[in-house]
């Protein structure tokens, strides 16, 4: 995964394929069976855990700003 230059400046540490998989995995809410929901939620959590530390820091900064 290579950082991509944004239009505004700085770097974006985002894996677009991984983010697409996470978006698809968010459909765990629609599963009728509780066991299936648990399995699909765990899959989504595992995908989220694969995000790069730089991207997580960037998300935290966007959400919380200078409070961290």
pLDDT digits (tens, 9 = 90+) for 25-55: 988 888 899 999 999 999 998 998 888 888 7
> Which DSSP state fits 33?
S
The whole domain housing 31 covers 4-67
In the beta sheet, which residues pair with residue 4?
Answer: 12
Please give the model's pTM, rounded to 2 decimal places. 0.63
CA distance 32 to 2: 38
What kind and span of H or E run contains 12?
strand 11-12
Q: Say what the pLDDT of residue 21 is.
A: 92
Contacts (Cβ under 8 Å, ≥6 apart) of 43: 25, 28
Number of domains the chain contains: 1
């Amino acid at each position: 995964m290579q950082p991509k230059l944004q239009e505004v400046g700085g770097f974006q540490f985002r894996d677009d394929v991984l983010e697409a998989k996470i978006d698809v995995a968010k459909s765990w809410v629609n599963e009728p069976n509780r066991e299936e929901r648990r399995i699909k939620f765990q899959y989504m959590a595992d995908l989220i855990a694969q995000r790069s530390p730089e991207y997580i820091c960037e998300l935290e900064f966007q959400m919380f700003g200078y409070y961290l």
